[in-house]
C-alpha cells in the first residue's frame, strides 16, 4: 500500500519530511521529550508540508492498519506496566496471610492504616509526575517509576515494625502514583480523542488480570521480591517504549507524519501558552467531577477485593495456602 501513502501525502510532503527529520530531533530536546513535542507544533507543521498541513491523510484501510500497528506496540507495554504496579500495591493483602501482622506486631486497625496511607500520597504525586513526564521522555520516566517502586517493595522486606511499614507504604504511593495518569497522558500522544477511551479500558483491564493470578503468585513464588520483576521490566521499557510518533522507529516516515497529522486535526495538543487556561476549564467543568464519582465507584470494589479477599476467604476456614489460591 506504499503507493497509496505517497498518493495521499504527496511526493513533496514526504521528501520534506525526510529533509527535516534532524530538526524534529533537535526540537524534541535531543531524544523527544513530550513537552517539547507540544511546545514546537508550529515547527512540526512546517516539516510536514503536504502531509500534516493538507488535512488529508491515509485511506481508511491504511489508517486501520496504522492503528493496529500502534496497538500492537503500545498497549501491551502499558497494560504490562499497570499490571505490575497493581500487583505490587495490592499484594500486602496476600502477605497478611503469611504472617505479616505477627511479624511486625500489628494490632487493631494498624493493618488498615497501612493500607489507607498509600492512597493520599498516590493521589498527591499524580499531577507533579505528569508535569515531569511532559518535560522528559516517556521511556525514561516509566522506567524510573518502576525501579523506584520495585526498590521500595524490596526494602519493605527489611521492615521490622508498624512505623517502618507506614513509611514504606507512603513512599510506595508516591512512586506508583505517576504511572496511571502517565499512561493516560501517553496514550493521548498517539490516538485521537475518539480512540483513547477503548485503549485506556484495555490497559486498565490489567488490574482485573492481576487479581486473577495475584494469589497464584503469592502462593507459588512467595519469596519473590518486587525489584526482580520491576527492574528487569524497567530495563526493557527504557529501550522499547517509543517516546513520540515523530521518533518511533517502528513506524515509517510517512506513518510518523500521519500520526502527528491526525492528532493535529483532532486538536488534541495544547499550546504551552494556554496550559493553565485549559486546567481551569477542567476544574470548572461539572463533567470532571462526574468522572471522579464514576472512577471512585469503579476503584472502591476493585481495590477492596484485591486487599481483603485473601483475608475474607481465610476467615471462612481455609488454610493460608488454599486461601491464596482461591483469591
Instruction: Report d(CA 100, CA 161) in Å as an integer.
Output: 10
Instruction: Report d(CA 326, CA 159) in Å as an integer.
Output: 28
Instruction: Report d(CA 60, CA 44) in Å as an integer.
Output: 24
Instruction: Report d(CA 68, CA 60) in Å as an integer.
Output: 12
Q: How confident is the model at residue 14 (pLDDT cuts 50, 70, 90)?
A: very low
CB 118 within 8 A of CB 89: yes
- The chain-wide mean pLDDT, for the chain, equals 79
Smallest CA-to-CA distance from 86 within 5, 1, 21, 177 is with: 177
The domain limits of the chain are 74-243+273-326
- The per-residue pLDDT for 218 is 61
- The per-residue pLDDT for 274 is 56
The pTM score is 0.74
Identify each DSSP E strand in the chain by its residue range. Answer: none
C-alpha 83 chain-centroid distance: 10
Q: How confident is the model at residue 225 (pLDDT cuts 50, 70, 90)?
A: very low
For the CA atoms of 318, 324, 326, 327, the dihedral, rounded to the nearest 10 degrees, stands at 120
Instruction: Report d(CA 116, CA 307) in Å as an integer.
Output: 11
Domain 74-243+273-326, CATH class in plain words: mainly alpha
Which sign, positive or negative, has the C-alpha torsion 247, 252, 253, 255? Answer: negative
Q: What is the CA radius of gyration of the chain?
A: 23
Q: How confident is the model at residue 137 (pLDDT cuts 50, 70, 90)?
A: very high
Dihedral-angle region of residue 267 (phi above 0 means left; psi in -120 to 50 means alpha; beta otherwise): left
CB 17 within 8 A of CB 51: yes
Amino acid at each position: 500500500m506504499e503507493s497509496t501513502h505517497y498518493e495521499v501525502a504527496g511526493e513533496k510532503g514526504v521528501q520534506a519530511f525526510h529533509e527535516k527529520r534532524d530538526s524534529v530531533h533537535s526540537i524534541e530536546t535531543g531524544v523527544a521529550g513530550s513537552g517539547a513535542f507540544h511546545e514546537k507544533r508550529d515547527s512540526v507543521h512546517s516539516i510536514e508540508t503536504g502531509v500534516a498541513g493538507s488535512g488529508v491523510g491515509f485511506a481508511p484501510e491504511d489508517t486501520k492498519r496504522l492503528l493496529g500497528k500502534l496497538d500492537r506496540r503500545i498497549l501491551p507495554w502499558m497494560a504490562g506496566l499497570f499490571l505490575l504496579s497493581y500487583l505490587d500495591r495490592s499484594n500486602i493483602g496476600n502477605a497478611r496471610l503469611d504472617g505479616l501482622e505477627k511479624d511486625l506486631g500489628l494490632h487493631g486497625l494498624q493493618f488498615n492504616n497501612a493500607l489507607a496511607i498509600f492512597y493520599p500520597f498516590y493521589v498527591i504525586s499524580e499531577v507533579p509526575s505528569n508535569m515531569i513526564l511532559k518535560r522528559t521522555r516517556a521511556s525514561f520516566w516509566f522506567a524510573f517509576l518502576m525501579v523506584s517502586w520495585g526498590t521500595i517493595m524490596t526494602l519493605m522486606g527489611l521492615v521490622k515494625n508498624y512505623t517502618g511499614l507506614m513509611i514504606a507504604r507512603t513512599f510506595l504511593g508516591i512512586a506508583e502514583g505517576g504511572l496511571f495518569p502517565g499512561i493516560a497522558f501517553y496514550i493521548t500522544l498517539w490516538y485521537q480523542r475518539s480512540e483513547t477511551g477503548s485503549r485506556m479500558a484495555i490497559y486498565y483491564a490489567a488490574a482485573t488480570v492481576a487479581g486473577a493470578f495475584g494469589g497464584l503468585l503469592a502462593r507459588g513464588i512467595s519469596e519473590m521480591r518486587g525489584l526482580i520483576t520491576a527492574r528487569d521490566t524497567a530495563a526493557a521499557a527504557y529501550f522499547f517504549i517509543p517516546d513520540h510518533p515523530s521518533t518511533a522507529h517502528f513506524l515509517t516516515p510517512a506513518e510518523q507524519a500521519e500520526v502527528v497529522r491526525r492528532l493535529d486535526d483532532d486538536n488534541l495538543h495544547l499550546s504551552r501558552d494556554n496550559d493553565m487556561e485549559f486546567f481551569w476549564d477542567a476544574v470548572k467543568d461539572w463533567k470532571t467531577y462526574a468522572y471522579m464519582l464514576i472512577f471512585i465507584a469503579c476503584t472502591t470494589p476493585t481495590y477492596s477485593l484485591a486487599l481483603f479477599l485473601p483475608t475474607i476467604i481465610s476467615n471462612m476456614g481455609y488454610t493460608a495456602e488454599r486461601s491464596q489460591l482461591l483469591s
